[in-house]
Amino acid sequence: LKHFFGFKYCSSKRASTKSAAAKRESSITKDQYENIERKPFYKLLEERKEQAERSVLVSCPSNTSEKRFLKHMSRHGDINNCFFYESFGTYAVVEFSKRDGVLSVFESASIPNFPHEAAVPFKSRLLSLKTNNSGDLASSQPSVKVLSQTAIPIDELVRRLSKKDSIDQQLLLLTNILQLTDENIRLRFLVCSLLRDIAASYFPECVVRPFGSSVNGFGKLGCDLDMFLDLDGISGISQEKTGSSYSLEYQLKRTSTERVATQSILSVIGECVDQFGPGCVGIQKILNARCPLVRFSHQPSGFQCDLTANNRVAMKSSELLYLYGQLDERVRALVFSVRCWARVQGVTSNIPGAWLTNFTLTMLVVFFLQKRSPPLIPTLDHLQALAGPKDKSIIDGNDCTFVSDLTKVKLQENSDSLEHLLLEFFEFYGNFDFSKLSINIRKGKEQGKPEAAPLHIQNPFQPALNVSKNVNGTQLQRFVSLCQESAWLAQQPEVQSRSDTPWGLAALLAPLDAVGKGKKSKRRRAEAPSARIKGLLESLRTGKASANGGSTS
């Protein structure tokens, strides 16, 4: 996500001698890293949104010539940026330097005629490149360089990690490999902007904003696109005092609760997306969920999309995680590695259920880092104390205020290496008394559990809610056992020392259950966990352990 933040970074100002000595994949020095301007979250979002509004998405025939395509598109205006990718065909994202470029495209594009079908004549910034008869745009030799928008398979990741010289380097490499690329972020904001154009047919002043892992700094290639329909620009306008004896207000249809209003807004927008949204397929309206949403696939980008409305608290959570991720590079490296480990070990799943979610895992990492001695990151209460008047934010009666200016946050001198932090993370949660204690990142302290849920993580902005309410006892126990097993494994000399077989973090990404697969599975399952991990160690030594060739998504 380095481009999203507007810089490339390579070293932590608080990294240990060992990790600082490690050569990073990227290229800037510690001094440069410290001097980089870290933009506030909303400023970055605004820049990306504005960039997306000047962009179009074009489906290109497979024999498109990049050079000729760019020449053709630049007839409409100067191009700031263009890249190609594949998703059910080849697509190009073209960002013009001015919005006029898009308007010029609209003027020249035509509505197609389908011989035996009819279509809704909805004009959008999703277009198709057509080859004219003279073959002006096409070449028999396609020359388009496509950029991958998906994460590499886990076995490839394990192979690349194994080549590194230290575990610290492995964690940083994993982050670099899995994080969203600049292009992927552009595409995410562009899809939001395309969705906004559809929703604008009902609400012209609306904005569709990405939140969650698309923007919080912890997004992995292939993660879903969480969006929310922001109508504050409409309803938030306070009435001007004109001094006149009369004023006018809009007549509105009333609903019993805000939730009902959100449901009906999402219902019509969902219908609109379904009927008129080019490339939007598989629309599901999940309006009775705690947070009502419309889910669909956006085929041209390949993104699984969740559109919500009235979800400002989730935006604040995203901002808070972004801020934590920006304070010290070890935060993102540890979150990415723990998330990846959890996915491989089956702690998290793509299917909704009683599993821990990535969001829950991130909260666990944040809490763990607050509990280091000295703390690696501050508590939310501390971030609130640093807030200025402009940071004030009250949502539904809850105080969601915290500092937005990253430069105001002064960290303590914690020099733990990533290798040490990863091991400590497993030990910390392998021994945590989940039965009695609740996790509170606002205070950076565990507290007595207010309710009987197996895992209790207080929602930092809605204290009455538990972020991990969905997690059942079995899944929590699985997480705890896997933390214990991984802590044990991480301390074995075979895992700690560099070798030709998966070692260090790469060894921890081999599924611990995989050892029990095949003929011996019944016997293995009956064995104590330590026997299973010894078996894994054995297979690592003989090079037979495979990270099951699955994907990291």
Span 206-235, contacts to ligand GTP by CB under 6 A: 211-213, 216, 219, 223-224, 226
Q: How far is the CB of 78 from ligand GTP (least distance, A)?
A: 35
Shortest gap between Cβ of 460 and ligand GTP (angstroms)? 8
Identify which of residues 162 and 213 has a Cβ nearer to Mg ion in the complex.
213
| Cβ proximity to Mg ion, 226 vs 329, nearer residue | 226
DSSP three-state, residue 54:
coil
- The contacts of residue 48 (CB under 8 Å, 6+ apart) are 4, 185, 186, 189
Residue 394 φ/ψ, nearest 5 degrees: -115, 120
Least distance CB 352 / ligand GTP (angstroms): 9
303-309 and 225-230 beta bridge pairing: parallel
Nearest in space to 468 (alpha carbons), one of 332, 354, 312: 354
Residue pair 498/504 in contact (Cβ under 8 Å)? The answer is: yes
536: its two tokens: 């894994």
325 binds, among Mg ion, ligand GTP, none (CB under 5 to 8 A by kind): none
Which of 342/376 has CB closer to ligand GTP? 342
> Which positions from 426 through 485 interact with ligand GTP, judged by CB under 6 A?
459, 467
b/e per residue 321-343 (b: at least 16 CB within 10 A): bbbbbbbbbbbbbbbbbbbbbbb
The smaller minimum CB distance to Mg ion, of residues 197 and 224, is found at: 224
> Of all residues in this chain, which one has the CB nearest to ligand GTP in the complex?
212
Contacted by 87, from Mg ion, ligand GTP, none: CB < 5 to 8 Å by type: none
- Of 94 and 229, the one with the shorter C-beta distance to Mg ion is 229
- How far is Cα 331 from Cα 416, in angstroms, rounded to an integer? 12
Least distance to ligand GTP, CB of residue 474, Å: 19
Place of tokens 């609400």: 203
Size of the site for Mg ion (CB under 5 A): 4
Helices 358-370 and 329-344 pack at an angle, to 10 degrees, of 140
Binding mask 196-215 for Mg ion (x = CB under 5 A): ----------------xx--
Angstrom distances, CA of residue 291 to CA of 308, 391, 400? 7, 25, 18
Could you identify the residue written with the tokens 């020392």?
A: 497
Of 304-333, which residues contact ligand GTP (CB under 6 A)? 314, 317-318
Considering the complex, state which of residue 225 and residue 547 has its C-beta at the smaller distance from ligand GTP.
225
317 binds, among Mg ion, ligand GTP, none (CB under 5 to 8 A by kind): ligand GTP
- For residue 416, list its beta bridge partners: none
Residue 290 CB, nearest approach to ligand GTP (Å): 8
CB closer to ligand GTP out of 162 and 213: 213
Q: Is 376 helix (H, G, I), strand (E, B) or coil?
A: coil
| Cα atoms in the Cβ-side hemisphere of radius 13 Å centred on 417 | 15
CB 333 within 8 A of CB 166: no
Site for ligand GTP in 355-374 (CB under 6 A): 357-359
Based on the shown chain and the rule CB under 5 A, indicate whether residue 226 belongs to the binding site for Mg ion.
yes
HEC assignment per residue over 475-506? HHHHHHHHHHHHHHHHCCHHHHCCCCCCCCHH
15-54 footprint of ligand GTP as x/- string (CB under 6 A) = ----------------------------------------
CB nearer to ligand GTP: pick between 314 and 340: 314
Instruction: State the minimum distance, in angstroms, from the CB of residue 225 to ligand GTP.
Output: 9
Paired residues of 85 in beta bridges: 91, 147
Closest CB to Mg ion belongs to which residue? 212
Cβ 224 to Mg ion, closest distance in Å?
4
- For ligand GTP, give the closer residue by CB, 14 or 298: 298
Residue 444 near Mg ion by CB under 5 A: no
Residue 162 interaction partner, one of ligand GTP, Mg ion, none, beta carbon < 5-8 Å per kind: none
Q: How many residues bind to ligand GTP according to rule CB under 6 A?
A: 16
CB-wise, 14 or 188, nearer to ligand GTP? 188
Q: Which stretch binds Mg ion (CB under 5 A): 71-79, 224-232, 264-272, 328-336?
A: 224-232
* Residue choice 86, 156, 182, 224 for contact with Mg ion (CB under 5 A): 224
For the chain, the maximum distance between any two Cα atoms, rounded to a whole number of angstroms, is: 87
Distance from C-alpha of 290 to C-alpha of 209, rounded to nearest angstrom: 20
CA distance readout (Å), 221 to 149, 150, 208, 408, 552: 6, 5, 21, 31, 9
Instruction: Determine the Cα–Cα distance for residues 503 and 519; give it in Å rounded to an integer.
Output: 26
C-beta of 186: minimal distance to ligand GTP in Å? 18
> Which residue number, 226 or 230, has a Cβ lying nearer to Mg ion?
226
Residue 334, both tokens: 């540890």
Residues at the site binding ligand GTP, with contacts judged by CB under 6 A? 211-213, 216, 219, 223-224, 226, 314, 317-318, 357-359, 459, 467
Residues at the site binding Mg ion, with contacts judged by CB under 5 A? 212-213, 224, 226
